Structures are given as structure tokens and as C-alpha cells.
Amino acid sequence: MIMNSGIPLEFYLVLATVMFFTGIYGFLTRRNLITMLMSVELILNSVNINFMAFNRFLFPGKLEGHFFSLFVIAVAAAEAAVAIAIIINIYRRFTTINVEDVNQMKY
Amino acid sequence: MEAKQIMFAIFALVIVVFSVLTVTSRRILRAAVSLLMVLIATAGLYFLLSYQFMAAVQLTLYAGGIVVLIIFSILLTSQISHKFERIETKKALFSALAAVAGAVVVITTILNHSFSADSAAAAEVDMHLIGHSLLETGRDGYVLPFEVISVLLVAAMIGAIVIAKKGSPHKDEPAK
């Protein structure tokens, strides 16, 4: 096991895995658009932890993982802004953000 | 146990507990605050990995920006006192099954794989190096993704304004 200040790489990876699949569980069970968005944020965040841990432990001289998670955060910010605009528009039209009640375009 | 290991244990505990609370809490504002705690603990992990710049970005952009955006939209669209109804047992069971099965597969893969170590000393990342590589055009430069991401942010901002602004009252009759 690779150690860096007493913490092996696997600890970070397992922690990120737990966080990722908690996000998956939330995405499958939640029926409110904002809580689904929060689950997606959890998933994106766990991937960022993976990038940073790999960068630090396997390629400490380089910065690829560092910049990749920087760009992931920027894309997540853009995604959250657009998603919340859509959610507010949906709320204005249907007065609910429950995905099961928003089915006008379903058929 | 070293101090860093204790810190890692605390951050890991906070991340696991508050991740579960984020996806299971029946009050939406509590879920948002749990998400905030998860994001702050993640910034702590970045500090442990001695990526100070990324930890600062995580705190300002994620914990500061996105969570505030989410809380604003919760206040605009939800009743604070409203509690979600319980999830059907069947749906919760199968979702948990899918999540646990996926987690087991991934964790066994991680633990069985031996990562090749790079013995280079873990150094702190110089802030000048980050700035220079972000705007460099050469082999280790990131100016192209930097510019693409700035165009994406402008597009997202304009798109958000166009989507969220009120349309003319004749066209946008709410469908009731």
C-alpha cells in the first residue's frame, strides 16, 4: 500500500466510493428536483476526491488531476446554475418541483 | 496515531454520515445543510493532501456558491416546514440494493488492485505554478480548457437568464 503521511491511497478511494454510491441511492429514491440535484453534486464531488488522491499519490510531480477537478468544479457550477433556472421555471409553470407531477411532455 | 490520521478519520466520518443524511433527510433544508457539511469536509481532505488552492476553490465555489444557490432555490420553491413523504419500501430496497452492489464491486476492485507507487516527495503546489500552467500554451499548459470553460460559463449564465426570465403573458399561460 502506498502511504502518504500515514494514510494509504485506498482509504481515499473507498471513501469516495461510499460517497458516490450514496449519491446514486439519493438520485434513485428522491422525487424532488432540488434533492436530485444535490445527489448529483455528491457524485461529482466524490469524483473530484478521486482525481486529487490519484494525483497526489501516483503522480505527485504533475498537476493533471488537480486541473481536471478544477474544471469539473467549474462545469458543476455552470450545471447547477442552469439546472436551478430550469427548476424555477418549472415551479412557475406547474407550482411543484416533484418530478412525478411534471409530466406534460411525457407522451 | 498521528494527527493527520485522526484528522482523516474525522473528515471521513463527517463525509459518510452527512452524505447519508443528504439523501435520506425528509426536510429539504436539512438535506442542504448536510450537503454543505460534506463539501466542507471534502475541502478538509484537500488540505490533508496539501492542495491548498483546490481546498480554497472548494470552499468558495462549492460550499460558498453552489450551496447558497441551492438554498435560495429551496426558499423560492418549497415550504420549509414541509416534510417529504416516506419512500416506498420497495423502491428504497431496490435502490439500496443497486447502490450497495455497485459499492461492493468497486471497493473489491480497488482493494485487489495494487497501485504502482511513485516515490517522489509530496511537495506543496506552488501557486505561481498553477497560474502559469493555467495560461500556458505549451506542453503542460491548460489555456485551451481554460478558454473553453470561460465560454461555457458565459453560455451557462446567458442560458440561465433566458430560461428563468418571465416570458410574455400571452404566450406563457400556465397549464393547469
Number of domains comprising chain A: 1
| Contact at CB, A81 and B118, closer than 8 angstroms | no
Whats the size of chain A, residue-wise? 107
pLDDT of residue A96: 84
In a domain, A75, yes or no: yes
Of B173 and A24, which is predicted with more confidence?
A24
Domain that holds residue A44: 3-94
**Among B102, B64, B109, B77, residue whose Cα is nearest residue A91:** B77
The correct CATH number of B1-84 out of 1.10.645.10, 3.40.960.10, 3.20.20.70, 1.20.120.1200 is 1.20.120.1200
Strand-pair partners of A98: A32
In a domain, A8, yes or no: yes
pLDDT of residue B176: 45
The CA distance from A26 to A18, in Å, is 12
Share of chain A above pLDDT 90, in %: 56
**Domain-wise residue ranges, chain B:** 1-84, 126-165
Query: Which region holds residue B156: left if phi is over 0, alpha if psi is between -120 and 50, else beta?
Result: alpha
pLDDT at A3 > cutoff 70: no
**Among B99, B49, B105, B40, residue whose Cα is nearest residue A11:** B49
Place of cell 424555477: A88
Write phi, then psi, for B139 (nearest 5 degrees). -70, -40
The residue of A35, A46, A47, A57 whose CB has the most chain B CBs within 10 angstroms, and thus the best one to mutate to test that interface, is A35
Question: How many Å lie between the alpha carbon of B143 and the closest alpha carbon of chain A?
Answer: 11
Identify the CATH number of the domain in which residue A21 sits.
Answer: 1.10.287.3510
The residue of A10, A12, A14, A15 whose CB has the most chain B CBs within 10 angstroms, and thus the best one to mutate to test that interface, is A15
Q: Name the pTM for this structure.
A: 0.89
pLDDT, averaged in runs of 10, over chain B (176 residues): 88 95 91 95 92 92 91 87 83 93 95 74 76 84 91 93 73 51
Write phi, then psi, for A94 (nearest 5 degrees). -110, -10
Taking the mean position of all CA atoms in its chain, how far away is CA A5?
A: 27
